[in-house]
Amino acid sequence: MMKRTRMAVFCTALFSLAAQAADSVNIANWSGYIADDTLAEFTRRTGIQPTYDLIDSNETTEAKLMTGGSGYDLVSPSNHFLPRLIKAGAIQELDRSRLPNWHNLDPKLMQLLQASDPGNRYAVPYMWVTTGIGYNVDKIKAIFGNTDVTQSWQLLFNPENIRKLSACGVAFLDNPTQMVPITLKVLGLDPHSQNPEDLKKAETALLSIRPSISYFHQSKYVSDLANGNICVAVGFSGDVLQAMTSAQQANNGVHLGYSIPREGSTVAVDMVVIPKAAPHLEAAYAYLNYLLDPQVMAHITNAVKYPSGNAAALPYVDQALRDNPAVYPPQQVLDTLFPIQTLSPAGMRMSTRLWTRVTSGT
């Protein structure tokens, strides 16, 4: 009887653990990239409880996925990191039969994404993002007389201009996969170049303006722009718009603008993938299909100010966002954008070492 009782307790415990696992999903995503109620609504619909961690860089995310034991069910690398993840077998091929909302995705975007994910077999687009200049309108006018200078990267890459800005604060993204191609583009070079001589020119240009850069960070510039602590940041479109919203809500007298410089800039798509060893596969598909719901994705866009890869979501996006060229750039601006491309291992090493020297100022 005692053995049977112990066995019953043991089986009950195992069943409880199994149920708990089935009702869980582990998600890793970028900071400030989800609506406040997205996860709660998912739990309300499905009973599945998410654990939500923040990504700090594509490089760190890639390293975790390559080990095969990240513990995550869903992760959001940018599109230019997909080829290496696919080649290494670090992520799973998607079973579209488990994603009935797949048809909501933008066919034009899916076609473009085949360059990094042939056949769109491994990843679902989440949000797409441009990189540009976020700036304090009043402070720029006080220094330069107007804001025309913000329409060119020379605002920051001309040493004389950035020196004038240094007193009010300048932030750069701590992101070599964005900043190195932009620097190459500013210099009139191929933004995808992995030529050591071209990269040396980019390093020299960045080091020449390094003394005027206050700091490098992936997200700190959002609150600093909103609070007036800095006057210029190289940042992501949605982040700058979030800063605008925060400043408006605080009614603190800070007026912000965002420009995509006329020389051109980067465009990237953050994807959602399922790691090879995802522990909660059914829950992963449930959350992924939830994200493909047009109203869910539109609600996230309205919150985070980034356009999604979900074409069916557009009618549900706030009209003010749909009409905002910082969110949905006009075609003439889109034509100046270039995608981030996947670097070779040697190119990645050169870019990373270059960036370490720039950020450290050595």
DSSP labels for 194-261? Answer: --HHHHHHHHHHHHHHGGG--EE-SSHHHHHHHHTS-SEEEEEHHHHHHHHHHHHHHT-S--EEEE--
247 and 348: one domain?
yes
254 and 356: one domain?
yes
Residue 5's pLDDT is: 38
Residue 123's pLDDT is: 98
The answer to whether residue 20 is domain-embedded is yes
Overall size of the chain counted in residues:
362
> How many domains would you assign to the chain?
2
Give the CATH number of the domain where residue 94 resides.
Answer: 3.40.190.10
Q: What element of type H or E holds 87?
A: helix 82-87
The answer to whether residue 259 is domain-embedded is yes
253 and 149: one domain?
yes
Residue that has been written with the tokens 């949905």 in this structure: 328
Cβ partners under 8 Å of residue 230, min gap 6:
136, 168, 169, 170, 171, 214, 221, 224
Residue 58's pLDDT is: 87
Cβ partners under 8 Å of residue 286, min gap 6:
25, 46, 48
Residue 301's pLDDT is: 97
140 and 221: one domain?
yes
Residue 107 · residue 311 · CB < 8 Å: yes
Domain, as residue range, for 35: 2-123+273-327
Closest CA to 346 of 193, 189, 118, 190: 193
The answer to whether residue 240 is domain-embedded is yes
Q: What element of type H or E holds 302?
A: helix 294-304
Q: What element of type H or E holds 279?
A: none
The answer to whether residue 242 is domain-embedded is yes
Taking each continuous run of H as one helix and of E as one strand, the counts in the chain are 17, 10
Residue 306 · residue 327 · CB < 8 Å: yes
Q: According to DSSP H, which parts of 135-195 are helical?
A: 137-144, 154-157, 159-165, 176-186
The residues facing 78 across adjacent strands are 270
Residue 310's pLDDT is: 97
82 and 155: one domain?
no
75 and 134: one domain?
no
Q: What element of type H or E holds 72?
A: none
Measured distance CA(199)–CA(176) in Å, rounded? 11
216 and 262: one domain?
yes
319 and 239: one domain?
no
207 and 344: one domain?
yes
Residue 136 · residue 232 · CB < 8 Å: yes
Residue that has been written with the tokens 């420009």 in this structure: 259
The pTM of the full predicted model, rounded to 2 decimals, is 0.81
The answer to whether residue 332 is domain-embedded is no
Residue 339's pLDDT is: 87
Residue 341's pLDDT is: 86
The answer to whether residue 189 is domain-embedded is yes
Encode the chain (362 residues) as per-residue pLDDT tens digits: 333 333 333 333 333 333 344 589 999 999 889 999 999 999 999 999 999 999 988 888 999 999 888 899 999 999 999 999 999 999 999 999 999 999 999 999 999 899 899 999 999 999 999 999 999 999 999 999 999 999 999 999 999 999 999 999 999 999 999 999 999 999 999 999 999 999 999 999 999 999 999 999 999 999 999 999 999 999 999 999 999 999 999 999 999 999 999 999 999 999 999 999 999 999 999 999 999 999 999 999 999 999 999 999 999 999 999 999 999 999 999 999 998 888 888 998 999 999 999 999 87
Q: ∠ at Cα 170 (167, 171), nearest 5°?
A: 155
Residue 232 · residue 140 · CB < 8 Å: yes
The answer to whether residue 204 is domain-embedded is yes
Closest CA to 42 of 73, 10, 2, 83: 73
281 and 255: one domain?
no
144 and 222: one domain?
yes
Closest CA to 292 of 98, 118, 108, 119: 98
147 and 215: one domain?
yes
The answer to whether residue 318 is domain-embedded is yes
